[in-house]
Amino acid sequence: MELRQSGNNALDRLTQVMGFDVRFYGKSFSWLAAGQTSGIIRGIATTFLMARWLPRNIMGEFRYVLAMFAIAGMFAAGGVSTSIIRGIAKGDTVIVWAGIKRILMIAPLGSLLLIIAAAERYVVGETNVAIALAFSGILFPAYAICGLYGSILTGQERIQRLTKIAIINNSLFAICFFLVIWKTKELLPVFFAYLGIDILFRGFITWNEVRQLKKSGEAVSHLKLGDHLNAIGVIQALASQLDQILIQRFAGYGVLANYSVAMLIPEQMKDFVNALGGVILRRFSRHENNAKILAQTKKHFWTMAGLSGAMILAYWLVAPFFLPWFFPQYGEQVLPSLVYSLGLLGLTSIIGLNWFQAQHNLKALWLFYSANTAVQIISNIILIPLFGSWGAIVSKTFTRLALIPLTYPRSNPDIAQRS
């Protein structure tokens, strides 16, 4: 009993020192870590299987189709997810239905883009890539909706259920994906399995969560934020995937496969941390914009910077041994991967960006994402034709590091003026 009391006292003191609820974030992070760990295992395992069993060109084709699918994601209305988290945190559950309608209005544009991309690949004689792109175009609206359960559960702070679903989904996916690759070793079955399994499982979960919600509140203010984030998402989707498209065009599918291995683990680490974004947004959405909260948020910013630096150091210690063992055909990608991992320091931005969203600071969001897109696209266009995958690595790493100052937490001047 005394030991438990001492532990509670230590947590209370740590909460005061750190400026945030250590119990809540510790518990949430533990559950999210379990879910994201299963996702990391899924991502590494699937890439491991492809690297071991698929020819390098087929793996490159797979990565190209995924890159095009991600670009089409500019029309997936990704800002709706933020709107749902923010709305449910404030009790406005009606935002879920309004968000689904908004997605169904915009998503057909993504389907059209993928169909056009499929026609272009068919004209140049890449029939399998064209079929995969056409298949993804048909299913794109369903894919855009099927992941909304995550936003609903995050808004409700039902982190345990979200984690359990992630573990089950990732485990089933890994098993099915293994069987498909082992049996076929061809692009089309692999891609059909990759997309189809996710849509069926996550679509059912989303349907089940939506049908249990009772409509309440309003959606207008949340949709306004989502619309701005959707517009930002259009330029962001192009900027984030342009490197892979340009590598394929200037260097071929083989080099694209190399690049996908170099970026694999750092990107999984980034996704691991970004999983906390929804929880952070929900907490920030319940706070008023005052000097005390802002000071605490600035402290979180520097704490995140320190944690990001520690992650980079850990990766530099492990990667030289891990990558050659796990991907023996891609042992030469150790140095590119280490350089790429320096961009993980950009995870510091997760604090400021979620603060801006919670405080409806649209000017700050537009400034960051516009600058991010411009720097990344321009540097990609200049560097990739000259240096191939190294150009992409330098471009993305430089962009992530250079724009961190734009995300330093600050007050929303519009709210300050109204108050």
Q: Is residue 9 part of a domain?
A: no
Tell the residue number behind the tokens 């999984």, with chain if given: 268
* Residue-wise pLDDT tens digits, 140-161: 999 999 989 888 988 887 877 8
**pLDDT score recorded for residue 5:** 58
Residue 38 lies in a domain: yes
- Check if the beta carbon of residue 65 is closer than 8 Å to that of residue 212: no
Higher per-residue pLDDT: 28 or 279? 279
Within 8 A by CB and 6+ apart from 212, the residues are: none
Residue 3 has pLDDT above 60, yes or no: no
Nearest to 63 by CA among 196, 262, 234, 198: 262
Judge whether 2 lies within some domain.
no
Structure tokens at 396: 């993305």
Asked whether residue 339 is assigned to any structural domain, the reply reads: yes
Q: How many residues does the chain have?
A: 419
Chain centre distance of CA 394: 20
| pLDDT at 259 (0 to 100) | 93
**Position 122 in a domain:** yes
What's the DSSP call for residue 287? S
Number of domains making up the chain:
1
Q: Is 234 part of a structural domain of the chain?
A: yes
Query: The domain containing residue 280 runs over which residues?
Result: 19-418
Any domain includes 32: yes
232 part of a folded domain: yes
What are the pLDDT digits (tens) for 187-196? 788 888 888 8
Least confident of 210-219, 273-282, 333-342, 352-361: 273-282
